[in-house]
Amino acid sequence: MNWKAFFAMLARDAHVARRNLVALLFQTFLQPLMFVFIFGRVMVGSGYMPPSYKSLLLPGIMAICMVGTGIWAVAMPLIGEFQFTREIEDRLLAPMDISWLAMEKVVAGTLQALAAGLMVIPAAWLLLRPGVGLNIHHPLLFAAVAVLVALFSATGGLALGCSVQQTHIGLMFSLVVAPMIFFGCTYYPWSALTNFPILQKVVLVNPLVYASEGLRGTMVPQFPHLSLLAVLAALVFFNALLLVTGLRKFYGKAVS
């Protein structure tokens, strides 16, 4: 492992992210904040939703922002570098193992996802105040869940970026990302699916369920949520699965 080369590539990715900051902010926050405004301000202000829905909604929006940012930050550059710009060939000349090139992408995506998630809290609070009741009683547990969610988004981006062809990007978001969001308990708690017992069990294969429920359990524990122990175990499992899958696919595409 060549740490100097690793951090040099990480610094380069950070520089690219800073240059595209405005586009990145619009891409990351526009759609979630519109959901926050419509459901949190318009629907609550009109009396169609209870005021407490503001607090219930915020962790789910944070999960969407983190997962969307991490997947986009890792998957899209990989698709372009492998299939269009061929920039990956320059990176493969770096004096480090091929797997660490993929790990650098994961680290960069994780940091971007964390930044996006943390920025959602003050942005959404400005839109939803007054009435948002955050109760982060265990900051370390909240930090652990947030890191695992960010890591999940980056490892998912690695696996998708090395699996999807450039012509299938739209299909990836239609068949993978969109269903994951709507059935990921982002706008409602998992317990809301009690009247749909089969669906309630099926959605447990969706990692975003554990991301949303984990953030909900650490930010607004007054609402129903999955056991945090189950959330932590599931996120660790999905992270390991996606990382191993992504590394294998990255190595296969790199040496081919």
pLDDT values of the chain reduced to their tens digit, one per residue, 256 residues:
677 777 787 887 787 777 777 777 776 667 677 777 777 777 777 777 777 787 888 888 889 888 888 888 888 888 877 766 666 666 777 777 888 888 888 998 999 899 888 888 877 777 776 667 777 888 899 999 999 999 999 999 999 888 877 777 777 777 787 888 889 998 889 999 999 999 999 999 999 999 999 999 999 888 889 999 999 999 999 999 999 999 998 888 777 6
pLDDT of residue 87: 67
Could you tell me which of 113, 116, 118 has the C-alpha nearest to residue 148? 113
Residue 192 three-state SS: helix
Over the range 134-145, which residues count as b (16 or more CB within 10 Å of their CB) and which as e? Answer: eeeeeeeebebb
In whole angstroms, give the CA distance from residue 238 to residue 206. Answer: 9
User: Tokens representing 105?
Assistant: 């992408």
Q: Which residue has the tokens 């930050």?
A: 73
Closest to 181 (Cα-Cα) out of 76, 75, 60, 72:
60
Helix (H) or strand (E) holding 65: helix 53-83
Does residue 101 contact residue 254 with C-beta atoms inside 8 Å? yes
Please, where are the H alpha helices in 39-177?
44-45, 53-83, 88-91, 98-128, 139-161, 169-172
The whole-number pLDDT of residue 232 equals 96
Q: Is 47 exposed, middle or buried (0-12, 13-18, 19+ CB in 10 A)?
A: exposed
Please give the model's pTM, rounded to 2 decimal places: 0.86
Contact partners, residue 94, CB within 8 Å, separation at least 6: 2, 5, 9, 101
Q: What are the φ and ψ backbone dihedral angles of 131, each rounded to 5 degrees?
A: 115, -5
CA angle 248, 5, 164 (to 5 degrees): 30
Under DSSP, the state recorded for 191 is G
